[in-house]
Amino acid sequence: MSYTERSRDLFLETGTRFPRDVIWAMGAVKMAAARANRALGVMDPAMAKAIEAAASEVMDGSRDGEIVVDVFQTGSGTGLNMNVNEVISRRASEILGSKVHPNDHVNMSQSSNDVVPTAMRVAAVRASIARAIPALRGLSSALRDLSSRTTSIYKSGRTHLRDALPVTMGQEFGAYAFAFSRDADTLEAALARARELPLGGTAVGTGLNAPEGFAEAAIAELSSIAGVEFRTSPDRFASMRLLTDLVGVSAALRSVALDLMRLSQDLRLMFSGPMTGLNEIDLPNQAEIAGSSIMPGKTNPVTVESCLQASAQVMGLDHTVQLAGMLGEFELSMGIPVAGYDVSLEISLISEAASKLTKVVEGVVPNVERARRYAESSPSLITVISPVIGYERAAEVGKRLAKGLSIRDALRELGFDDRAIDGLLDLGRLVRPGIPARSSS
């Protein structure tokens, strides 16, 4: 009975399987190792070629049905490594026409303790570069475009969900454009450390049973295969016992999730209504699917709510990654399988949520008149005359406004004529720095 078959009775059997990104990375590590072993003269060229060919089938998904170990397994990821070794061994033996051993040959110059943490980092870096960062840049760009086309649309600002001074929609959406651009930068910075790989450290970081130069050769090959630059870790002992760099990637993804949640909440509130909510924007593409099984014609912010749930999931996964990073003692980080799985899932969720939310942002239609009416109705407009009459008197006027007196009538009671009032209530002047009351008095 193979290791993989025996392990299924001992590991948890939850049906949780490693994602494609991780399986690809495992195949890529095995291919890179075979090439390095051949180049260093410790592996027969024909055998190395057979292992490479079998590894390429793991990478392209042809062998996914054979990678069956559960994510919840031995903490080093030995189960995953052995499963992949056995799959490649069987296929390489068929290709070569003679026995290729899973440990002696496929795992040559390696250990689960350096292979699996290497593969998890490769998967995270590669997927982030291919999907998450472009999705975040795309969302930021869409928000910048929306900010540009709503730069002259005035609306009431809100603090504590209460009326505040006016802003423009462009200012609100521009804030999120900046936030997601910064999030992409933060993720890229976090990936820099995750590019440092422990491959070549073998069992405990010393590199025992790997030929001199193996780490450098294998990681150079791995960079070529992945199309992404990776480096040998400056301290393999640290990279094998600590997952701090992956925890950092997860933290960057958690920050993205937080900003996605805030944007989604704002979009959802602005879209609320149409009669009893804010109704400041319309989201036409959300009408492409029924909003209710009982209320005909109802439109709900379905994509936005999907993104809210995905954001919550990412935050939960990040907490697991933090805990997984704490597992282990001495030479082993024991939370490798679940940490790698969760980071990979976080990247998928963030990539999908940002891409789908981009389509929502691109379709935003402002309800211009409604938004302006709110802006001109806010009792907080009294703030603009506070520098002239003083905070205490302005607060008293504000209380009268809250009871129904219009801002214009309140200003007339204070002695302002209509021309001065028009100047004070020029929304274009109220959404930029300065003291309109003094220049209008």
Burial 351-363 (b: 16+ CB within 10 A, else e): bbbbbbbbebbeb
Distance CA 189, CA 252 (A): 9
**Three-state secondary structure of 104-122:** HHHCCCCCHHHHHHHHHHH
Annotation marks residue 112 as catalytic: no
φ, ψ of residue 130 to 5 degrees: the values are -75, -35
Annotation marks residue 7 as catalytic: no
Directed axis angle between helix 112-127 and helix 244-270, to 10°? 30
Q: Please provide the DSSP assignment of 21-42 as one string.
A: HHHHHHHHHHHHHHHHHHHTTS
Tell me the CA distances in angstroms from 348 to 13, 128, 131, 193, one per residue in order: 23, 9, 8, 20
Using DSSP, state whether 404 is helix, strand or coil.
Answer: coil
Q: Please provide the DSSP assignment of 208-277 as one string.
A: TTS-TTHHHHHHHHHHHHHTS--EE-S-HHHHHH--HHHHHHHHHHHHHHHHHHHHHHHHHHHT--SSSS
Catalytic residue from among 148, 292, 377, 406: 292
Distance CA 181, CA 386 (A): 36
N-term to C-term CA, the chain: 91
Distance CA 354, CA 362 (A): 12
Q: Are 246 and 194 in contact (CB under 8 A)?
A: yes
DSSP type of residue 287: G
Cis peptide before 274 (omega within 30 of 0): yes
Give residue for tokens 């450098």.
216
Residue 396, token pair as written in the block: 């008293």
* Active site positions, annotated: 160, 292
